[in-house]
Structure 1
């Protein structure tokens, strides 16, 4: 199995960053940016830029009939996933590998139900400092992709994606315990994304002692308690590793949720605090920090009007 064609649906920060990386190493013809025709016209008219360079992406309309892609990557926000799944149907064949770069632990279920779990790989992306304002994306770190099968098996799909990432020079890892890794990423997102948005700050604001950093850590500890109740052995010692990764990011950079509040977009609070609060209630675990973050983020969203 060899991946020769890559389809990406969702041209936000991750879609642009990884789309550019694939196109630079595989060639534009091997990389499809899938969107509806109206959105494609806007991309072509306004342009899409990565670190100041125009991205000459190969766009394909969602309703166009063509040979399925070897790999389909979802890079939309969770609120747009259902629509993205419908838009992606012409890219999926019986051998298409499916992978989601969305936050949280919910998108794989939706994608698997739509196309089949046998074609699905699980993943998280972390360590990037991409910031997208309008049609301009800036970043200094491309981050890394952790991916694998849900049962951690080293399958042909895993080997094919590994080979592709090496060819495209995308940093990656294949963890021993994929679901643990996904919960670990949910933990850091729940702390970092929500705290920077609530306290209206960037990475620099949580890289120094103070209430924003304290909130990051406290929110992550609540995730650990909930994960343990769900049978996932997260440990408090993992918090230090994530703080080290975030402390190495550009202080001026911002996670996606802070970018959302700056641009008056709805956030993914339901994926983070919403998930932890729901599972906390299920197991009788108090989640006061995530309760605070959830309430405050809903207030921020309501203030847009």
Structure 2
């Protein structure tokens, strides 16, 4: 299979880099202002698990700022931030190709957006449980975890899912096929809706939030509210998952969330795609989620203040 990667940041850079390193044809679509860096120096991944490696443009690896180059791809990994999903998918809809799109993104609304423009049959869901970030254009740091769960929206174990998973496993990616990707997406949201926005409020690492009794309690209540909203949509998240997240793994304890890193660097943050999405889902069911609404309002205020 030939793969495309749209969004060469911490997530797209790592998974795309692993595919390219594994010998698979890979097309990276990046922003025009960064293209010369990739053309000259390639893509470097500094991984705690796979070591440091660089993939450079060759017969099998292409760096471009043109979506049209994706037309011959079989699968495209969509790794942009959720606030860019609609605009990017609109561009993808103009490409004369029939590639499947794997949404490797935060949030629970991206798959709906992709399906609206490209058709539901071309959408594959995914969740990345990974700690990685863009150190500088062309350099990705992988510092924790790395599991990628993928699955068809209807839950079927299709031939294309098996083929994609086999390719990724061959490339050294820790991959798992999900029989219920909707559950998996909500399970990932459970972590995201607590740790990502609340880290912007506290300004500290995952471990520091967990070590203090009161911040740990707030994290738990943020997740309990998410669990209740998920239940209203027929998704039964487990208390044991929440307890597991509150313990966290050693490699994540010193991890700064992607939202905090983006906030500190003056970049747009995914508050709408994460907490905003949960609040919208709750409102449709007539539910109040005060912990999440409070954190959402605080983060939105912080975000507004830095723009003044």
Using the size of structure 1 for normalisation, the TM-score is 0.88
- Tell me, in whole angstroms, the C-alpha distance in 2 between the residues paired with 1:73 and 1:80: 14
Aligned mate of 2:28, from 30, 33, 37: 33
User: How far did residue 241 of structure 1 move?
Assistant: 2.8
Aligned mate of 1:70, from 63, 68, 74: 74
* Residues 301 and 46 (structure 1), Cα distance of their counterparts in 2 relative to 1, 3 Å cut: farther
* Residues 46 and 158 (structure 1), Cα distance of their counterparts in 2 relative to 1, 3 Å cut: closer
User: How far did residue 238 of structure 1 move?
Assistant: 2.0
Task: Provide, for residues 141-199 of structure 1, a one-character-per-residue CA deviation record: whole Å limited to 9, x for no partner.
Answer: 35111111122111111111121111111112223322111111111100111121211
1:9-158 equivalences in 2 (<5 Å): 9-27=6-24, 30-35=25-30, 37-41=32-36, 43-44=38-39, 48-51=43-46, 54-57=54-57, 58-62=62-66, 64=68, 67-89=71-93, 93-94=97-98, 96-126=99-129, 128-135=130-137, 136-158=139-161
Structural RMSD (CA): 2.3
* Residues 65 and 181 (structure 1), Cα distance of their counterparts in 2 relative to 1, 3 Å cut: closer
Residues 1:286 and 2:288 aligned together: yes
CA contact (8 A) 2:93 2:117 kept: no
* Residues 104 and 66 (structure 1), Cα distance of their counterparts in 2 relative to 1, 3 Å cut: closer
- Tell me, in whole angstroms, the C-alpha distance in 2 between the residues paired with 1:26 and 1:60: 19
1:168-247 equivalences in 2 (<5 Å): 168-244=171-247, 246-247=248-249
Q: How many residues align?
A: 297
User: How far did residue 45 of structure 1 move?
Assistant: 6.1
User: How far did residue 38 of structure 1 move?
Assistant: 4.2
* Residues 93 and 279 (structure 1), Cα distance of their counterparts in 2 relative to 1, 3 Å cut: same
User: How far did residue 219 of structure 1 move?
Assistant: 0.4
Q: What runs of 5+ residues in structure 1 fail to find an aligned partner?
A: none
Using the size of structure 2 for normalisation, the TM-score is 0.87
- The structure richer in strand per residue is 2
Equivalent residue number for residue 249 of structure 1: 251
